[in-house]
Structure 1
């Protein structure tokens, strides 16, 4: 009888602690963005907050500008797991300064890389490190209509990276060095050109970005531009279509943050503390996206795959007891 009483007492205490944790966390609304890395992170956050902290989570469909606007105007949703700051920098700075939004953490710890990529094996074999190195070897990069020239595979029409790439290539006099720009027509066309070249053991030179499934599938090297990033020059010319006098410049690293409403920052408790430390690197994110691409998996599936296969990453975000609860729920 004494043993039963003791067990009931322990169970009651555990239930009370669990209820207290849930009460502290409360309801959390999270934007599930419509691109893979952000949508998957929303599902990861939902699982950890519900199973590890006892929160009640609502996932709401989201996109960069509509979600940002709603958070400022209506304080909903509470959390945007992955907002790319470069596209909304001025209004975000204004909202933070006004006390409407709070930047909780850097969700991509090493930022979002973009720029000129080549296959890593090719870079290592020929000692290609900088853009000058690459442009000295047009013969290594087939795909141009003129077979005697090297190919640079550019972004689809309408993407900002197309004019930026063209400006940078003109600054380096790539055409005079034997290269021509090859249109790709669409995102699928750009990705397909990269995949085909790598799988056939050929050279490929073009614009790409991360985190993406392809950078998780294939070992690619981001070409060092050999010069530092210059914001003034970027604004003056690099990012301006058909700028008449482009100068050498580096690519701007994308900054992706987790942003919350000020109301949530004040009352979020354990959930807010979790978001302050939660984040992953591009290599991990790209590996998860590659698995999702290969398996035609949804955001929720990607979250499960990450939690099952990368405990070395996510257990650093939570306490040991929360980690055990999440593992048990998997």
Structure 2
């Protein structure tokens, strides 16, 4: 009987220990982050993970997927933290999730971002050092592209120009396609939605190296906008009604927020308090991305470099004792 009782006791202890290690509405051991597929979210993940692991003692993991899949996982609690949620790109989904109380906005990571159609600045101004003459000196707005289809020739259709759009799986690609139609640019340009971000970059890099004209979608903060001299084409001032009707304005102001699942404040209150203080900027984010590209390193290494360079920024987000633990780990 004693042996059986000891066996039952040990079994019960193992079971209870296992249960205590799993996430519930009131406790958590592993905090899961969303990776929706771009470098800046990976850098912000790594910064936050370092602080949470070294300063607060939690384990962390990253779950990768499309924006739609990771946002759904955040709503369901399979992901706990979303460091870079571009709210306007998924406005309806985001607002519904907030209204239903499934997710909570912790802070605005940065709000000085930009997105739209870019051209290399030498297209407008030329580049004396490279011996490049300006080929579209009067190009200022998206609508002005109608004057220059022959400048941005589609290599597969010599009767039209080519606009490189956003990846086909991104919501913003639909917005751009509508915008092109609204301005009548589809009569003179073919809109090409590539399969990935890397395809856009490859197209831009190839044209830039040769000093050739190029027009396409991009956004900041990225290492691309930090490294290449690009000009964002102007658009009509943002008007919500017009935007909803035909996308005939500049992109809406896009708060990029840090969002958490509704249960996280109960599971890790101190972590949420840290995330509520998390705030960077377009420039600060691009610092890390430019370092990442120039040194051919992964996001976690760029994040550590950034934290050493900008200690005055992140130490304001956490109590002094937490900051000391993190600095010691770095």
With the length of structure 2 as denominator, give the TM-score of the two structures: 0.71
**Structure 1's 220 and 99: CA in aligned 2 closer, same or farther, altered over 3 A?**
same
Range 207-216 or range 269-278, more displaced: 207-216
| 1:46 paired residue number | 49
Whether contact under 8 Å (1:30, 1:79) holds in the other structure is yes
Of 203, 213, 219 in structure 1, the residue corresponding to residue 213 of structure 2 is: 203
**Structure 1 moving runs of 4+ over 6 Å:** 146-149
Q: Secondary structure at the match of 1:196?
A: helix
Q: Distance in 2 between matches of 1:282 and 1:261?
A: 25
Q: Distance in 2 between matches of 1:268 and 1:107?
A: 20
Q: Secondary structure at the match of 1:107?
A: strand
Q: Give 1:198 shift.
A: 2.0
Q: Give 1:206 shift.
A: 1.6
| 1:6 paired residue number | none
Aligned length: 291
Please, which runs of 5 or more residues in structure 1 have no aligned partner?
Answer: 1-24, 239-247
1:131-165 deviation per Cα after TM superposition (whole angstroms, max 9, x unaligned): 34554455654555566865433345555444533
1:25-76 deviation per Cα after TM superposition (whole angstroms, max 9, x unaligned): 984613141422223212211111233x333132242444444434444x44
**Structure 1's 295 and 184: CA in aligned 2 closer, same or farther, altered over 3 A?**
farther
| 2:283 paired residue number | 283
| RMSD after superposition | 3.4
Q: Distance in 2 between matches of 1:311 and 1:122?
A: 39
Q: Secondary structure at the match of 1:61?
A: strand
Whether contact under 8 Å (1:144, 1:182) holds in the other structure is no
| 1:265 paired residue number | 265
Whether contact under 8 Å (2:40, 2:221) holds in the other structure is yes
Range 145-154 or range 54-63, more displaced: 145-154
Whether contact under 8 Å (2:152, 2:161) holds in the other structure is yes
| 2:105 paired residue number | 103
Please state if 1:214 is matched with 2:215.
no
| 1:130 paired residue number | 141
Of 234, 239, 256 in structure 1, the residue corresponding to residue 243 of structure 2 is: 234
**Structure 1's 232 and 148: CA in aligned 2 closer, same or farther, altered over 3 A?**
same
Q: Distance in 1 between matches of 2:68 and 2:322?
A: 33
Q: Distance in 2 between matches of 1:90 and 1:203?
A: 36
| 1:117 paired residue number | 118
Please state if 1:31 is matched with 2:33.
yes
Q: Secondary structure at the match of 2:110?
A: coil
Of 151, 165, 173 in structure 1, the residue corresponding to residue 176 of structure 2 is: 165
Q: Distance in 2 between matches of 1:98 and 1:166?
A: 31
| 2:190 paired residue number | 181
Q: Give 1:117 shift.
A: 0.5
Q: Give 1:97 shift.
A: 3.0
Whether contact under 8 Å (2:36, 2:64) holds in the other structure is yes
Q: Distance in 1 between matches of 2:244 and 2:56?
A: 46
With the length of structure 1 as denominator, give the TM-score of the two structures: 0.71
Q: Secondary structure at the match of 1:221?
A: strand
1:258-311 deviation per Cα after TM superposition (whole angstroms, max 9, x unaligned): 112333224534322221121322333234234434555333223223223333
| 2:8 paired residue number | none
Q: Secondary structure at the match of 2:274?
A: helix
Whether contact under 8 Å (1:28, 1:55) holds in the other structure is no
Please state if 1:306 is matched with 2:306.
yes
Where in structure 2 are the equivalents of 1:61-100 lying within 5 Å? 61-63=63-65, 64-73=67-76, 75-86=77-88, 88-100=90-102
